[in-house]
Amino acid sequence: MNKVHRKVEYSLMALKHMGAKANEDLTTAKEVADAFHAPFEAVARALQIMAQKGLLRSEQGKTGGYKLTRALDQITLLEIIEMMEGPTAIAKCLNSGETCDIHSSCNIISPIQNLNNRLTNFYRGLSVQDVLRGPEVAV
């Protein structure tokens, strides 16, 4: 079913960690990986992707690291999912460029597109801050 992949999990871990720090403080991939016992390479890649997409600012050098460019309440869950995984699609036929063997005879294309749109809108309506706040958040 529709699940959160590790890249999204590592991104959310890093964002929560960064959001708890002072705005001026930089965060390194090693710091996040060590704090959460996560693979360094995976955390580093997630941070690099978020920096390339403009969600983080990267500072190079021995004392370098990453910092947020926006507050967590200004970042949607959909942004993170699409940064890490690409466009959201719950069925093969919804990915542009992928062909489905039964597309010509499929009788559920429209309902599946509708469901995908609802999920996408749900993710778009949740800020990272909402997600990271915990179970008391009403959705």
Composition of the chain by helix, strand, coil, percent to 5 = 55, 10, 35
Q: Is residue 137 part of a domain?
A: no
Predicted structure pTM score: 0.86
Give the confidence band of 73 by pLDDT, cuts at 50, 70, 90.
very high
Query: How far, CA to CA in Å, does 124 sit from each of 15, 59, 85?
Result: 17, 29, 15
- Mean per-residue pLDDT, 10-30: 93
Q: Is residue 90 part of a domain?
A: yes
Q: Which domain holds residue 48?
A: 6-130
Q: Is residue 34 part of a domain?
A: yes
The two three-digit tokens of residue 13, written as one number:
């871990």
Q: Is residue 1 part of a domain?
A: no
**CATH at residue 94:** 1.10.10.10
Q: Is residue 136 part of a domain?
A: no
Q: Is residue 95 part of a domain?
A: yes
The two three-digit tokens of residue 63, written as one number:
């004392």
Split into its structural domains, the chain has a count of 1
Is 70 exceeded by the pLDDT of residue 57?
A: yes
Q: Is residue 138 part of a domain?
A: no
Is 80 exceeded by the pLDDT of residue 138?
A: no
Q: Is residue 12 part of a domain?
A: yes
- Whether 88 and 116 have beta carbons less than 8 Å apart is answered as yes
Give the confidence band of 1 by pLDDT, cuts at 50, 70, 90.
low
